Structure formats: C-alpha cells, structure tokens
Amino acid sequence: MAVSDRSTKLPRRRSPSTPRRAAASSLNPLLSSWTGPFSLPPFEKIDAKHFKPALDAAFKAHKSEIEKIAANTAKPTFANTVIALEKSGTLLARVASVFSNLESTDSTDELQDIARDVAPKFAAHECMILLDKRLFARIDDLYGRRDALNLRPEDLRVLERHHLGFVRAGARLSAAQKSRVKEINARLATLVTQFMQNVLKDEQSWRMVLDVDQDLAGLPETMRASAIRAAADAGLPGKAMITLARSSVEGFLTYSSRRDLREQAFKAWIARGANGGDTDNRQIIAEVVALRDESARLLGYKSFADFSLQDTMAKTPIAVSELLQAVWPKAVQRAAAERDALAAEARLQGGNFAIEPWDWRYFSEKVRKTQFDIDEAELRAYLPLDNMIAAAFDCATRLFGLTFHERDDLPRYHADVRTWEVSDASGGHVGIFYGDYFARSSKRSGAWMSSFRDQHNIGKGANPVIINVLNFARGADGEATLLSFDDARTLFHEFGHGLHGLLSNVTYPSISGTAVSRDFVELPSQLYEHWLSTPDVMQKYAVHYRTGEPMPAVLHGKLNAARSFNQGFATVEYTASALVDMALYTGEIARVVDIEAFERETLAEIGMPSEIVMRHRLPHFMHIIGGYAAGYYSYLWSEVMDADAFAAFEETGDVFDPAMAKKLKQFSYSAGNTRDPHDAYVAFRGRPPNIDGLLKKRGLAA
C-alpha cells in the first residue's frame, strides 16, 4: 500500500459528477435487501447519515447471534460452534465494508467523524466476542478433541485459526487482564483512526501553486498538462499545481529543474504528520507503541514484535533481522556508488553542491538517460492507463482463464470508478471488480486492494466484490493518462491482490482470499508484477498513446537493461523503513517518547546514507500503525518468494505455462488460508524459496 505545502486548505467536497446522493426514502438502504445486479451496494441511495443507525443495528444483530452460540447448552460441535460463528455477523460485515471503503476513497468530514466514533465500538465488539469465556470454552473443547472429530483439512484449519485467534486476543487471561486488554484495544482503535485521518488532512492541506511560464521547467508535456489540470480543478485557471499525491510529487521531484521548488515539495512530502497542531502524529505513535507493548507483555511476550511475528512465516524477530541484514549492507554499498554517479552528473551540469534527498530522483533520471538512453517521458508515452489495465486483465486470462466485461450499468460510489464483471473460462460468474484509479482530495493516498464482499461457500455462498484503489495523476482533458513504469508495476501489484480475492475458492469467510499471514499475502501481488515486463505483454500493450505503434524493441531492451538501475536507493529507502519498524516494536519503550529522536538515532545506528530518506517516515508510516506493525519487512520476505516463484515459470520456457499456472492458482491465488503458508509455497514450488533470486532481481548479487 502506498499510501502534498500546508499553505492553503483545499476544499474537501465530493465531486459534483459523483452518482452518490442522499436517499429520498426514509428506509435505510444499508439495512434493506440489496436487490440490484449481483447484490451490489446501492451507492446512489447511501448517505453518510445512514451509517450510524445501520452500524448500531448490525452490532446488535451480531451480538444476538454470538450470545445464542455462547449460551448453547448442547455439547460443542463443529456445526453449532465454528460454522455458527462463520455464519454470524453477515450484516455487520456488509455495512462495515461499505463504510470503510467509502471513508478511505471518498471521505468527507462527516464520514471521518463517524469513523472516530465507531472505531472504539468495533474494538469493543471484537473484545466482546474473543474474550467471552463461554465461547472460548466451546472452541477450546473442540480444539482439544480435534484429532477425534474426523474433520476435513479445511475444517481443521479453520478450527485451529479460531482457537489461535481467541488465545492471541487474551481468552486465557484473568478478568482484570481482560479488562485492561479491552481498554487498550479501544484506545488503539481511536489512535489508529486519528493517525490515518491526520495524514490525509496533511496531504489535503498542502499544494504548491506554480506559474506556468516560470515554474514548470523540466517537466514533460504530459506532466505539465496534469499539473495545469489539477490547478484548474482547484479553481486556479492559468496556474499549475503540485499536490502530495505520490504520482504528482514524485513526478515533480524527478523532472523539475527548479532545485528550490524540489526542496519545498520534498520537505512537505516527508513532513506529513509532523507539522504541529491538531494533525501532528508524533505523540500518537509513542502512545500506540507503548500500548501495543503493554498488550503483548500481558499475553506473555517480551515485545510486540515477538507477539506480532508468532503468527507469520518469519515467526521471530531474529529471522526478520537475518533477512534484512543479508540485504542492508549490499544495498548501502550499491547506493554509495549510485550517489557518486549522481554527484558526477550534477557537476557536469554546473552544480557545485552535495547531493541532497530532493536531488536524488532528478539526477538519477539524468544518469539513467545517459547510461541507458532511456527518457522516462518517452517511456510514459507507451504506457497509457487503459492499456495497462487491459494488459493486467489479459495476463489473468492467459494464466487463469478469467475474462473481464466492463459494466457501466452497475452502481458505483464515484464517477471516476470503473466496474467489470469477471467470468471464468466456461462463462460462469466469478465476481465483480472495481477500479478506482485517479487521485482526488477525498481519497487517502497510496494504493491498495479491498473488498465489498469476500468469497465463501457456506450455504448459498457468495461471490467476491473486489476493489483496487490507486492515485494516478489524471491526464489533461481529452488526453490519455500516462503512467511511469513504476506506476504500471503498482497497477499490476494491486491487481495481483485483486486476483487473490477474485479467485478465492474456500468454504469459510474467515480464511477467504487475502486473509493469510502478512508475509505471504504479498506473494500473489509481487509475483504478478513480473508479467508486466514480459516480451509478449509489452509488445501487445505498450503502444504509443497517439500513434498506436508498439514500443520499439530497442526501447524495451533498454528498459530491461536498466531494470536494476537505482536499486541501491530503492532498497535502502525500503529496508531502512523495515529496520526502523522492527526497532520500534522490539526496543525499549522509553526510547520512543521522542519519536523523531528515536527515528534519527536508529537511522544513525544502522548507517543510513544522509542523501536518502526512509520511504515512510514514522509520523506518516500508515503501514506500521495499521495492519503491518512489526511487519513492513514482509514485502521483502515475499519478494524472496516472488522472485523464486517466477523463476519456476521461466524454467518451463513459457511464462504462461498452463501446468505451472494451475499449481499457482491451486496453492496460492484460490487457496486462501486453508493451509500453512510455508507448506503452500513448497506444494507449489517443490522446495522452500531461497534468497538468490531476490538479490539478482535487485542487482545486489555478488
């Protein structure tokens, strides 16, 4: 997930073209039956005012369902306990999924107020379930008799996962300890919600307004047009504007020849969450870390990292450290050589200064052009958004037999959103896929996959409704939206997550799709990136947005040759973030009181190059405040597997090999959490992964 100067507050109004409006009916559409096509949410009827009463009703309904299971006097069985739990909470899941997706993609002040109000309620509701001693007694009884129950492998897996979830939540704690766990979880829910909203507000409140004639020096024509459009959309005709959407600010840092403006933009980008006032996240982080540490120690762990990692492939902080330390010194060495090349390029251009963080992307692009004769602006012309979407779909067709039919008639929550019906090779309905591709002020920055409905096969079952959210800078009116190669790779990455949800074929909702360990969930997404740069895909879809001519073979060859270019920088900014994350959740909590001092001291200890800033500084590091706490390493852990897994396809001589694709679908994309992730990988590959492919891929091999 990826997740803009605070000089002027941007209005946060919904686009006037959005189809969503207040309901005329007094009935709450969130609580009514959804009778439209594919039982999709009736977005045009849903208004913010509907969420509080709908959530209250859904909490009440789920609580009643749980009470019935817990109070059952019959002997615990898999059916009356585990299956009953899996069937419960349907209404709450439905309402919560709509709310969480809208609050992150098309937010308003009202939705953010509701989010702050309901976050501790969700935490309390979860505690109510997982700390219920009657419910745990039933689960524990079944778990103790599991070998005698003659369960199917998937049934046994879901029983084990439920039991582990109860234990890790504190089901075995004393009454006093449970009470404290409830307090901690409620406070954490509030803090995490506030943290995320603060980052969004800081991004929304900054913009750099530029004079078209003087301030756009160096920007390619398409980027100039996007900046001019952004200003026009903000009510500033005749100007240009850079925001803190990643595609906007990173593009500016890459091309702008105005070093003074690059510095302004970069400092605003890294200062999100640390600007003082109501949106400052530094004290929030310190409290979050302290509370998580306390919770882990209540559960018998020596640190939150030990607790967090126990239910992952890595298992321990030592295993994570070994991986990160195998990469870190090689990355630092490579980055030093890259820095020297940038400094030489700067001197050639008359720059008598040391390379600073806001210089790196700019001079890196100059060096890449010199070394490989690649012009990023030229490359973008062959990567229009529509073609990259089609390419991602086509790879899914060739690998898994899926087809995508765009449906303009289906309900959407915003006019920017596109919707596809997904079918299998026999024409059967698989699910619905939403694509929300453009940056806007009401959307959280970054890129992610989510769902409005998860797949399961209980009863009549449910087909998935999956969404990919990205933040590309829209092209000028009437012009194509052109992507950088990194943008295109991000699109493939998130679509890999999307396929993980769409192809899921499991019985139980709790283990569906992406509900797998953190350091396995990135395998389907990172692996899918590999198909983007294959010759077949590039030749067919990397075509010039104006002429329709395919990317010249020479340019594609240059792109491949430059594949590991600047990987020292990329690996350092990522690995530094992962190392700081682990230090944050394994070290002495007293050190975390001053979060900026902690960050500065930790980076000094690992030998962070001064010319590079960690990819996500702590005040806006949403991953590790959210679901990736003590888990940012997982992208690298999964990269070991994705490099090794794609090599399995290459070894067949056909990167779309049907037999290998069938195994990949069986043991990864469709399997959910039906088996241990290490066992799942070995079942696909025939052996555990090794790190050699990762080092080669990043150009760090000896």
Q: CB–CB of 567/421 below 8 Å? A: no
Q: Do 216 and 210 form a contact (C-beta atoms < 8 A)?
A: yes
69 φ/ψ angles, rounded to the nearest 5 degrees: -70, -45
Active-site residue, selected from the candidate residues 494, 522, 529, 639: 494
3-state secondary structure 6-61: CCCCCCCCCCCCCCCCCCCCCCCCCCCCCCCHHHCCCHHHCCHHHHHHHHHHHHHH
Q: Which residues pair with 449 in a beta bridge?
A: 468
Q: Rounded CA gap, 604 and 584, in Å?
A: 14
Yes or no: say if 269 and 243 are a contact pair by the CB < 8 Å rule: no
Question: Angle at which helices 357-372 and 317-348 pack, to 10 degrees?
Answer: 70
Cross-strand pairs, 420: 406, 433
User: 80 vs 65, 137, 458, CA distance in Å?
Assistant: 12, 13, 14
- Round to whole Å and give the CA distance between 91 and 55: 9
- Per the annotation, the verdict on 44 as an active-site residue is no
SS (H, E, C) 179-201: HHHHHHHHHHHHHHHHHHHHHHH
Question: With the CA atoms of 296, 301, 306 and 310 taken in that order, what torsion angle do they form, in degrees rounded to the nearest 10?
Answer: -100
Torsion of CA 490, 492, 494, 496, to 10 degrees: -150
Neighbours of 536 (CB within 10 A): 15
> Which CA distances in Å does 131 have to 136, 170, 178?
7, 7, 7
End-to-end CA, the chain: 30
φ, ψ dihedrals at 42, nearest 5°: -80, 75
Name the β-bridge partners of 241: 209
DSSP string, 347-363: HHTT--S---HHHHHHH
CA separation for the pair 177, 171 (Å, rounded):
10
C-alpha span between 506 and 487 (Å, rounded): 32
Pairing state of beta strands 239-242 and 208-211? antiparallel
Give the Cβ contact number of residue 306 at 10 Å.
Answer: 20
- Contact partners, residue 30, CB within 8 Å, separation at least 6: 46, 50, 51, 54, 94, 95, 98
Could you tell me which residues come within 8 angstroms of residue 236 by beta carbon, excluding any fewer than 6 positions away? 209
Report residue 437: phi and psi, to 5°.
-100, -20
Burial group, residue 549, by CB count within 10 angstroms (0-12, 13-18, 19+): exposed
Question: Which residues on neighbouring strands pair with residue 456, listed in sequence order?
Answer: 462
| Cα 617 from Cα 101, distance rounded (Å) | 25
DSSP 551: P
The residues assigned a catalytic role are 494
